[in-house]
Protein backbone atom coordinates (compact mmCIF):
# COMPACT_ATOMS: atom_id res chain seq x y z
CA UNK A 1 0.00 0.00 0.00
CA UNK A 2 1.19 3.51 -0.85
CA UNK A 3 -0.55 6.40 0.94
CA UNK A 4 -3.68 4.34 1.42
CA UNK A 5 -3.97 3.42 -2.27
CA UNK A 6 -3.31 0.07 -3.88
CA UNK A 7 -0.28 -0.06 -6.21
CA UNK A 8 -2.71 -1.15 -8.95
CA UNK A 9 -4.66 2.14 -8.55
CA UNK A 10 -1.72 4.38 -9.45
CA UNK A 11 -1.22 5.57 -13.06
CA UNK A 12 1.92 4.06 -14.61
CA UNK A 13 4.14 5.68 -17.22
CA UNK A 14 6.85 3.83 -19.10
CA UNK A 15 9.42 4.83 -21.71
CA UNK A 16 9.65 1.94 -24.16
CA UNK A 17 11.96 1.14 -27.04
CA UNK A 18 10.94 -0.88 -30.06
CA UNK A 19 13.54 -2.02 -32.57
CA UNK A 20 13.05 -3.81 -35.85
CA UNK A 21 15.88 -4.35 -38.31
CA UNK A 22 17.73 -0.99 -38.44
CA UNK A 23 14.79 1.02 -37.07
CA UNK A 24 14.57 2.07 -33.40
CA UNK A 25 11.58 3.92 -31.96
CA UNK A 26 11.18 5.28 -28.43
CA UNK A 27 7.69 5.98 -27.15
CA UNK A 28 5.82 6.70 -23.93
CA UNK A 29 3.21 4.22 -22.68
CA UNK A 30 0.84 5.41 -19.97
CA UNK A 31 -1.66 3.13 -18.25
CA UNK A 32 -4.37 4.58 -16.04
CA UNK A 33 -6.27 1.90 -14.12
CA UNK A 34 -10.04 1.83 -13.93
CA UNK A 35 -11.56 3.92 -11.18
CA UNK A 36 -15.08 4.31 -9.90
CA UNK A 37 -17.25 4.85 -12.99
CA UNK A 38 -14.28 5.16 -15.38
CA UNK A 39 -12.74 2.41 -17.49
CA UNK A 40 -8.99 1.88 -17.64
CA UNK A 41 -7.19 4.00 -20.22
CA UNK A 42 -4.03 3.44 -22.24
CA UNK A 43 -2.11 6.22 -23.97
CA UNK A 44 0.70 5.92 -26.50
CA UNK A 45 2.73 9.15 -26.79
CA UNK A 46 -0.27 10.95 -25.28
CA UNK A 47 -2.79 9.50 -27.77
CA UNK A 48 -5.77 7.70 -26.25
CA UNK A 49 -5.93 4.17 -27.69
CA UNK A 50 -9.74 4.21 -27.42
CA UNK A 51 -10.53 5.92 -30.70
CA UNK A 52 -12.87 5.83 -33.65
CA UNK A 53 -12.91 7.60 -37.01
CA UNK A 54 -14.29 7.13 -40.52
CA UNK A 55 -12.07 4.11 -41.27
CA UNK A 56 -12.58 2.09 -38.09
CA UNK A 57 -12.35 1.88 -34.36
CA UNK A 58 -9.95 0.71 -31.68
CA UNK A 59 -10.75 0.02 -28.05
CA UNK A 60 -8.91 -1.09 -24.96
CA UNK A 61 -10.80 -4.22 -23.93
CA UNK A 62 -9.13 -4.96 -20.60
CA UNK A 63 -6.34 -3.74 -18.32
CA UNK A 64 -5.00 -5.68 -15.35
CA UNK A 65 -2.30 -4.18 -13.15
CA UNK A 66 -0.59 -6.17 -10.42
CA UNK A 67 2.61 -5.47 -8.50
CA UNK A 68 4.60 -7.52 -11.03
CA UNK A 69 2.66 -7.29 -14.29
CA UNK A 70 0.61 -5.07 -16.57
CA UNK A 71 -1.72 -6.91 -18.98
CA UNK A 72 -3.52 -5.00 -21.74
CA UNK A 73 -5.86 -6.28 -24.46
CA UNK A 74 -6.84 -4.10 -27.43
CA UNK A 75 -9.13 -4.74 -30.38
CA UNK A 76 -9.16 -2.71 -33.60
CA UNK A 77 -11.48 -3.13 -36.56
CA UNK A 78 -11.26 -1.46 -39.94
CA UNK A 79 -13.94 -0.89 -42.56
CA UNK A 80 -13.43 -1.95 -46.20
CA UNK A 81 -11.38 0.64 -48.08
CA UNK A 82 -9.91 1.54 -51.44
CA UNK A 83 -6.24 2.58 -51.47
CA UNK A 84 -4.23 3.32 -54.64
CA UNK A 85 -7.02 1.83 -56.72
CA UNK A 86 -7.04 -1.46 -54.79
CA UNK A 87 -10.12 -2.64 -52.88
CA UNK A 88 -9.49 -4.13 -49.42
CA UNK A 89 -12.08 -5.84 -47.26
CA UNK A 90 -12.78 -5.23 -43.59
CA UNK A 91 -10.05 -6.24 -41.18
CA UNK A 92 -9.17 -6.50 -37.51
CA UNK A 93 -6.18 -6.57 -35.19
CA UNK A 94 -6.31 -8.11 -31.72
CA UNK A 95 -3.37 -7.18 -29.48
CA UNK A 96 -2.34 -8.67 -26.14
CA UNK A 97 0.41 -6.89 -24.18
CA UNK A 98 2.27 -8.35 -21.21
CA UNK A 99 4.65 -5.99 -19.39
CA UNK A 100 6.85 -7.30 -16.61
CA UNK A 101 7.17 -4.38 -14.19
CA UNK A 102 10.39 -5.68 -12.60
CA UNK A 103 12.39 -6.36 -15.78
CA UNK A 104 10.64 -3.87 -18.09
CA UNK A 105 10.26 -6.56 -20.75
CA UNK A 106 7.18 -5.95 -22.87
CA UNK A 107 5.80 -8.81 -24.96
CA UNK A 108 3.16 -7.98 -27.57
CA UNK A 109 1.16 -10.55 -29.53
CA UNK A 110 -0.83 -9.21 -32.51
CA UNK A 111 -3.24 -11.18 -34.65
CA UNK A 112 -4.10 -9.54 -37.99
CA UNK A 113 -7.14 -10.74 -39.89
CA UNK A 114 -8.18 -9.39 -43.32
CA UNK A 115 -8.11 -5.80 -44.51
CA UNK A 116 -5.27 -3.70 -45.87
CA UNK A 117 -2.95 -4.74 -43.01
CA UNK A 118 -3.32 -8.41 -43.84
CA UNK A 119 -2.66 -7.66 -47.52
CA UNK A 120 0.44 -5.54 -46.84
CA UNK A 121 1.91 -7.08 -43.66
CA UNK A 122 0.45 -10.55 -43.95
CA UNK A 123 -2.28 -12.06 -41.82
CA UNK A 124 -1.75 -14.19 -38.78
CA UNK A 125 -0.13 -13.83 -35.39
CA UNK A 126 3.16 -12.10 -34.63
CA UNK A 127 5.04 -11.70 -31.37
CA UNK A 128 7.22 -8.71 -30.57
CA UNK A 129 9.50 -7.96 -27.62
CA UNK A 130 10.36 -4.48 -26.46
CA UNK A 131 12.13 -2.99 -23.47
CA UNK A 132 10.54 -0.43 -21.12
CA UNK A 133 11.60 1.53 -18.06
CA UNK A 134 9.31 3.08 -15.48
CA UNK A 135 9.26 6.87 -15.52
CA UNK A 136 9.40 8.31 -12.00
More confident position, 120 or 3: 120
Whole-number Å distance between alpha carbons of 2 and 10: 9
CA dihedral of residues 12, 61, 110, 101 (deg, nearest 10):
20
pLDDT of residue 9: 62
pLDDT of residue 36: 87
| pLDDT digit string, tens, across residues 78-101 | 999 998 999 999 999 999 999 999
**Nearest Cα to 101, choosing from 64, 74, 73?**
64
Q: What's CA 106's distance to the chain center, in Å?
A: 11
Residues 6+ apart with CB under 8 A from 125: 109, 110, 111, 112
Banded pLDDT at 4 (limits 50, 70, 90) = very low
Share of the chain above pLDDT 70, in %: 93
Banded pLDDT at 136 (limits 50, 70, 90) = low
pLDDT of residue 133: 94
Q: Say yes or no to pLDDT of 122 above 80.
A: yes
| pLDDT digit string, tens, across residues 19-70 | 988 999 999 999 998 888 889 999 999 999 999 998 899 999 999 999 999 9
> Phi and psi of 121, rounded to 5°?
-100, -20
Q: Say yes or no to pLDDT of 3 above 50.
A: no
Amino acid sequence: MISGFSVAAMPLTFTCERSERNYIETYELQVTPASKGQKAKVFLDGRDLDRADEVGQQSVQNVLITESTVLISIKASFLPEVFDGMQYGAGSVVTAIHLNRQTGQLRKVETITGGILSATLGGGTRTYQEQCTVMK
